[in-house]
Amino acid sequence: MQQSVQRGLRAGALAGLLLVGLFFADYGPANNLITIARWFALDGNTWSKLIGAILLVVLGAVFGGLFGAIVRPWSPSLFQSVLVGFATGLCWWVVLVLLLSMVVKHIQQSPYGTLFWLVTSLLYGLVLGSLYWQFETKGGGHESRMV
Residues that bind other proteins (CB under 8 A): 18, 21-22, 25-26, 78-79, 82, 110-112, 115-116, 119, 122-123, 126-127, 130-131, 134, 138, 140-147
In 22-70, which ranges are E strands? none
Least Cβ distance, residue 26 to other proteins (angstroms): 7
Instruction: State the burial class of residue 144 (Cβ atoms within 10 Å of its Cβ: 0-12, 13-18, 19+).
Output: exposed
108 vs 144, beta carbon nearer other proteins? 144
Least Cβ distance, residue 45 to other proteins (angstroms): 26
Find out whether the peptide bond into 76 is cis, omega within 30 degrees of 0. Answer: no
CB 22 within 8 A of CB 87: no
Q: What single DSSP character describes residue 28?
A: S
Least Cβ distance, residue 111 to other proteins (angstroms): 6
Least Cβ distance, residue 133 to other proteins (angstroms): 9
